[in-house]
Structure 1
Amino acid sequence: MARYIFITGGVVSSLGKGLMAASLAALLQARGYKVRIRKFDPYLNVDPGTMSPYQHGEVYVTDDGAETDLDLGHYERFTGVSARQSDNVTSGRIYQQIIARERRGDYLGATVQVIPHVTDAIKEFALAETDDLDFVLCEIGGTVGDIESLPFIEAIRQLRNELGRDNTCVVHVTLVPYISAAGELKTKPTQHSVRELTSLGVQPDLLLCRCEHPLPPGERAKIALFCNVRPEAVIQALDASSIYAVPLQYHAEGLDAQVLSHFHLESSVPDLSRWTDIVDRFENPEGEVTIAVVGKYVGLPDAYKSLNEALVHGGMANRVRVKIKWIDAEIFEQADSDIAAQLEPMHAILVPGGFGTRGSEGKIASVRFARERNVPFFGICLGMQMACIEGARNTAGIPDASSTEFGETSEPVVGIITEWMSTEGLQTRSAEGDMGGTMRLGAYEAVLAGNSHVSTIYGGATNISERHRHRYEVNSAYKEPLEKGGLVFSGMSPDGLLPEIVERPDHPWFVGVQFHPELKSKPFDPHPLFAGFIAAAVRQSRLV
Structure 2
Amino acid sequence: MIKYIFVTGGVVSGLGKGITAASLGMMLKAKGLKVISQKLDPYINIDPGTMSPYQHGEVFVTEDGAETDLDLGHYERFIDENLNKYSNLTTGKVYWNVLENERKGIYKGDTVQVIPHVTNEIKKFIYAVGKKIEADVVITEIGGTIGDIESLPFIEAIRQVAYEVGRSNCLFLHVTLAPYIKSSGEVKTKPTQHSVKELQSLGISPDIIIIRSDRLLDKSHKAKIALYCNVNPDCVIENVDVDLIYEVPIMLEKSNFTKIVTRELKLTEKEPDLTVWNSMLEKARNRSKTVKIGLVGKYIKMYDTYLSVVEAITHAGIDNGAIIDIKWLDAERINSKTAKELIGDCDGIILPGGFGDRGVEGMIEAAHYCREHDIPYFGICLGMQIAVIEFSRYKAGLEGANSKEFNPDSAHKVIDIMQGQEGYENTGGSMRLGAYPCKIKEGTTLRKAYNKDRIMERHRHRYEFNNNYRDILSSHGLVLCGTSDDDTLVEAIEIKDRLFHLGVQFHPEFKSRPHKPHPIFLEFVSSALKNKQRNSVKHE
Which band: TM-score by shorter chain?
over 0.9
Q: Aligned partners of 1:352, 1:417: CA distance in 2, in Å?
A: 20
Measured against aligned partners, the alpha-carbon deviations of 1:279-336 in whole angstroms (never above 9, x if no partner) come to 2222210211000011111231100000000000111121111111110100014x8x
AA of the residue aligned to 2:440: L
Secondary structure of the 2:130 match is: coil
AA of the residue aligned to 2:165: L
Alignment of 1:448-463 (within 5 A): 448-459=440-451, 461-463=452-454
Task: Output the TM-score relative to the length of structure 2.
Answer: 0.97
Does structure 2 conserve the Cα–Cα contact (< 8 Å) formed by 1:245 and 1:275?
A: no
Aligned residue number for residue 210 of structure 1:
212
- Aligned with residue 316 of structure 2, among 295, 314, 320: 314
Alignment of 1:471-490 (within 5 A): 471-490=462-481
Does structure 1 conserve the Cα–Cα contact (< 8 Å) formed by 2:36 and 2:129?
A: no
1:93 aligns with 2:76: no
Does structure 2 conserve the Cα–Cα contact (< 8 Å) formed by 1:27 and 1:251?
A: no
Does structure 2 conserve the Cα–Cα contact (< 8 Å) formed by 1:289 and 1:541?
A: yes
Shift of 1:495: 1.4
Secondary structure of the 1:204 match is: coil
Identity %: 48
1:409 aligns with 2:401: no
Runs of 4+ in 1 over 3 A off after TM superposition: none
Aligned residue number for residue 201 of structure 2:
199
Does structure 1 conserve the Cα–Cα contact (< 8 Å) formed by 2:439 and 2:455?
A: yes
Alignment of 1:119-268 (within 5 A): 119-131=119-131, 132-268=134-270
Q: Aligned partners of 2:406, 2:425: CA distance in 1, in Å?
A: 18
Aligned residue number for residue 528 of structure 1:
519
Q: Aligned partners of 1:265, 1:295: CA distance in 2, in Å?
A: 45
Does structure 1 conserve the Cα–Cα contact (< 8 Å) formed by 2:479 and 2:493?
A: yes
AA of the residue aligned to 2:411: S
Aligned residue number for residue 276 of structure 1:
278
Measured against aligned partners, the alpha-carbon deviations of 1:347-368 in whole angstroms (never above 9, x if no partner) come to 0111111000000000000000
Gaps of 5+ in 1: 419-427
- C-alpha change, 1:265 and 1:64, in structure 2 (3 Å) is closer
Q: Aligned partners of 1:475, 1:148: CA distance in 2, in Å?
A: 44
Aligned residue number for residue 365 of structure 1:
365
Secondary structure of the 2:310 match is: helix
Does structure 2 conserve the Cα–Cα contact (< 8 Å) formed by 1:248 and 1:275?
A: no
Does structure 2 conserve the Cα–Cα contact (< 8 Å) formed by 1:404 and 1:412?
A: yes
Alignment of 1:43-82 (within 5 A): 43-82=43-82
Q: Aligned partners of 1:164, 1:537: CA distance in 2, in Å?
A: 54
Measured against aligned partners, the alpha-carbon deviations of 1:403-433 in whole angstroms (never above 9, x if no partner) come to 1101321110111112xxxxxxxxx433246
Alignment of 1:285-296 (within 5 A): 285-296=287-298
Aligned residue number for residue 495 of structure 1:
486
Shift of 1:258: 0.9
AA of the residue aligned to 1:133: A
Q: Aligned partners of 1:384, 1:281: CA distance in 2, in Å?
A: 31
AA of the residue aligned to 1:52: S
Q: Aligned partners of 1:129, 1:95: CA distance in 2, in Å?
A: 19
Q: Aligned partners of 1:370, 1:433: CA distance in 2, in Å?
A: 30
Q: Which has the higher mean CA deviation after the structures are superposed, 197-206 or 430-439? A: 430-439
Measured against aligned partners, the alpha-carbon deviations of 1:156-197 in whole angstroms (never above 9, x if no partner) come to 111111111100000000000001111111000000000000
Measured against aligned partners, the alpha-carbon deviations of 1:361-393 in whole angstroms (never above 9, x if no partner) come to 000000000000011110110110010000000
Q: Aligned partners of 2:446, 2:285: CA distance in 1, in Å?
A: 30
- C-alpha change, 1:345 and 1:251, in structure 2 (3 Å) is same
AA of the residue aligned to 2:7: I
Measured against aligned partners, the alpha-carbon deviations of 1:429-466 in whole angstroms (never above 9, x if no partner) come to 3324661101000000111112222112111x111110
AA of the residue aligned to 1:310: A
Gaps of 5+ in 2: 536-540
Q: Aligned partners of 2:153, 2:463: CA distance in 1, in Å?
A: 38
- CA root-mean-square deviation: 1.1
Measured against aligned partners, the alpha-carbon deviations of 1:6-62 in whole angstroms (never above 9, x if no partner) come to 000000000000000000000111111110001100000000000011110000001
Aligned residue number for residue 422 of structure 1:
none
Q: Aligned partners of 2:497, 2:207: CA distance in 1, in Å?
A: 61
Aligned residue number for residue 118 of structure 1:
118
Aligned residue number for residue 425 of structure 1:
none
Shift of 1:266: 4.9
Task: Output the TM-score relative to the length of structure 1.
Answer: 0.96
Q: Aligned partners of 2:296, 2:266: CA distance in 1, in Å?
A: 51
1:470 aligns with 2:472: no
- Aligned with residue 431 of structure 2, among 418, 439, 446: 439
Shift of 1:342: 1.1
Aligned residue number for residue 539 of structure 1:
530
Q: Aligned partners of 1:195, 1:429: CA distance in 2, in Å?
A: 51
Q: Aligned partners of 1:470, 1:429: CA distance in 2, in Å?
A: 10
Aligned residue number for residue 2 of structure 1:
2
Q: When the two structures are aligned, how many residues end up with a matched partner? A: 532
AA of the residue aligned to 1:385: Q
Q: Aligned partners of 2:322, 2:425: CA distance in 1, in Å?
A: 45
Secondary structure of the 1:538 match is: helix
Q: Which has the higher mean CA deviation after the structures are superposed, 512-521 or 272-281? A: 272-281
Secondary structure of the 1:139 match is: strand
Shift of 1:66: 0.3
